[in-house]
């Protein structure tokens, strides 16, 4: 199999966990390249449900090597807890899980800063996992990397430097106590000892694998519209969730990546604040949220739901160079009389057919819809495209036509088996 990036084409939770799990048997390596434990990727295998936050979803396939790349931010406690969770469920990670020595470490002060910022009126609706403040330190060049954590002298020096600055902010701006060097040093040194065996130069590991003709699956986290550059800024996460992030976040050059697959739900969801032009009104919101079980896999928050937005997914196809599309959760639309697709936005008399950068346009625009008849049939037991109801096929055909991109796979339930090719 070639080297493939699989990523979310909307605002996250498109079903990346499920799709990665389906592609994993054909790959040798499965790699996370950005984000952190703000992600929640669900894989359902029979009666068992696994939610992975930091470890690639390919870990459930026992022979596969999983890598957490340099672009990911690591909460070491969350990392160790996830390994324990997998162990309890009979999944052994030893010898096939690697963590980049260049990945940045999330500290309690990052989480605290995330919480404090979120307590303000103008909030983003983050997962409060410390993701934004950790990436901010990375870009400010004051971050602490895994390699630093494992070197006593470097770690002491960097932690001291960070606390000297952060504690002033906590004391003077937020009027709260700061963090004790000794306690943090002790806690994180102990994590360092436990994670050391997973740590290596993953850039070398992956490029060596490519030389040996191994295939790599790059597992995106979040979604394109949450990308810090290409999303609904500032209502985004703090990393590059787009395909370019796969290269930056792993040290695998773009010429070594063969294909990009985008995942889109048959409708749209988002968690947290920020513009959402096709968001449902109360009645449909309740129905779709219930049927699609749209509650966050990381925070449990109810997800906001809306119609399929072609402006959004078309933007994703472009900025990611998406070759093929996977449509998930088609079954969630089974009961609807008619289904809408947004094809343009109207704002102050102007029609927008491409994704606007101005947040005021996104917040105030009126979506222009096409309406297609629903199929009113249960699709959860359908096992081939041929057997889908005619109106479901028409809906997918219309999406494919609007996106000018091939739909290759359709998902009609959370189980591995509820998936078929188009």
State the catalytic residues. 13, 41
Interface with ligand IMO includes 108 (CB under 6 A)? no
Stated length of the chain: 422
Partner that binds at residue 413, options ligand IMO, ligand GDP, Mg ion, none, CB closer than 5 to 8 Å by kind: ligand GDP
Least distance between Mg ion and beta carbon 384 (Å): 27
DSSP designation for 412: -
Q: Which two tokens stand for residue 147?
A: 């390699």
Least distance between ligand IMO and beta carbon 133 (Å): 9
Site for ligand GDP in 1-60 (CB under 6 A): 8, 12-18, 40-42, 44
Q: Which is nearer to ligand GDP, 243 or 412 (CB)?
A: 412
Long-range Cβ contact pairs of 295-302 (< 8 A, separation 24 or more): 296/13, 296/40, 296/127, 296/271, 297/13, 297/40, 297/41, 297/42, 297/51, 298/37, 298/38, 298/39, 298/40, 298/51, 298/53, 298/127, 298/129, 299/127, 299/128, 299/271, 301/271, 301/272
Interface with ligand IMO includes 221 (CB under 6 A)? yes
Q: Exposed (0-12), middle (13-18) or buried (19+): which is 113, by Cβ within 10 Å?
A: buried
The angle at the Cα of 6, spanning 89 to 244, to the nearest 5 degrees, equals 125
Q: Please list, in sequence order, all residues whose beta carbon lies within 8 angstroms of the beta carbon of residue 413, skipping any fewer than 6 positions away.
A: 331, 380
Among 6, 9, 10, 13, contact with Mg ion (rule: CB under 5 A)? 13
Interface with Mg ion includes 297 (CB under 5 A)? yes
Note if the bond before 234 is cis, omega within 30 degrees: yes
Q: Which is nearer to ligand IMO, 72 or 342 (CB)?
A: 72
Binding part of the chain for ligand IMO, among 23-31, 64-72, 118-126, 381-389 by CB under 6 A, reads 118-126
Partner that binds at residue 250, options ligand IMO, ligand GDP, Mg ion, none, CB closer than 5 to 8 Å by kind: none
The contact pattern for ligand IMO, residues 237-276, with x = CB under 6 A and - = no contact, is xx--------------------------------xx----
Q: Which is nearer to ligand IMO, 240 or 343 (CB)?
A: 240
Q: Check: CB of residue 342 under 8 Å from CB of residue 264.
A: no
Q: Which is nearer to ligand IMO, 17 or 76 (CB)?
A: 17
d(CA 34, CA 31): 10
For 81, the 3-state DSSP assignment is helix
Site for ligand GDP in 313-342 (CB under 6 A): 328-329, 331-332
Residue 350 host element (H or E): strand 350-352
Q: Check: CB of residue 217 under 8 Å from CB of residue 6.
A: yes
Q: Which is nearer to ligand GDP, 7 or 199 (CB)?
A: 7
**Residues that bind ligand IMO in the complex, under the rule CB under 6 A:** 8, 12-13, 38-41, 124-127, 129, 131-132, 221-223, 226, 237-238, 271-272, 297
**Residues that bind Mg ion in the complex, under the rule CB under 5 A:** 13, 40, 297
**Residues that bind ligand GDP in the complex, under the rule CB under 6 A:** 8, 12-18, 40-42, 44, 292-293, 297, 328-329, 331-332, 411-414
């Amino acid at each position: 199999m070639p080297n493939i990036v699989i990523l979310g084409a909307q605002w996250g939770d498109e079903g990346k966990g499920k799709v990665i799990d389906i592609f994993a048997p054909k790959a040798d390596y499965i790699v996370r390249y950005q984000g952190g434990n703000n992600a929640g990727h669900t894989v359902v295998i029979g009666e068992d449900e696994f939610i992975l936050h930091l470890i690639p979803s390919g870990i459930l396939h026992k022979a596969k090597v999983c890598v957490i790349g340099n672009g990911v931010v690591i909460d070491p406690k969350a990392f160790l807890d996830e390994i324990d969770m997998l162990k309890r469920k009979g999944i052994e990670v030893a010898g096939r899980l690697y963590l980049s020595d260049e990945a940045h470490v999330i500290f309690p002060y990052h989480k605290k800063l995330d919480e404090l910022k979120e307590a303000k009126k103008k909030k983003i609706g983050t997962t409060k996992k410390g993701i934004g403040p950790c990436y901010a330190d990375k870009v400010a060049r004051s971050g602490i990397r895994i390699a630093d954590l494992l070197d006593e002298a470097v770690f002491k020096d960097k932690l001291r430097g960070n606390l000297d600055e952060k504690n002033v902010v906590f004391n003077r701006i937020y009027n709260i106590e700061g963090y004790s060097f000794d306690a943090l040093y002790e806690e994180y040194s102990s994590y360092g000892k436990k994670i050391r065996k997973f740590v290596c130069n993953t850039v070398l590991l992956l490029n060596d694998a490519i030389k040996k003709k191994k295939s790599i699956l790059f597992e995106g986290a979040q979604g394109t519209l949450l990308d810090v550059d290409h999303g609904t800024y500032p209502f985004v996460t703090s990393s590059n969730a787009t395909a370019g992030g796969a290269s930056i976040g792993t040290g695998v050059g773009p010429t070594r990546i063969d294909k990009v697959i985008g995942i889109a739900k048959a409708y749209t969801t988002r968690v947290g604040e920020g513009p959402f032009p096709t968001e449902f009104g109360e009645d449909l919101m309740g129905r779709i949220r219930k049927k699609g079980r749209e509650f966050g896999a990381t925070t449990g928050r109810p997800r906001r739901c809306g119609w399929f937005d072609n402006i959004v997914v078309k933007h994703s196809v472009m900025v990611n160079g998406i070759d093929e599309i996977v449509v998930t959760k088609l079954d969630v639309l089974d009961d609807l009389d008619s289904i809408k697709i947004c094809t343009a936005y109207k704002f102050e008399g102007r029609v927008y057919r491409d994704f606007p950068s101005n947040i005021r346009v996104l917040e105030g625009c009126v979506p222009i819809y096409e309406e297609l008849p629903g199929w009113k049939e249960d699709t959860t037991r359908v096992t081939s495209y041929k057997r889908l109801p005619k109106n479901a096929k028409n809906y997918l055909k219309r999406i494919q036509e609007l996106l000018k991109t091939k739909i290759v796979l359709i998902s009609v339930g959370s189980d591995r088996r509820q998936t078929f090719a188009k």
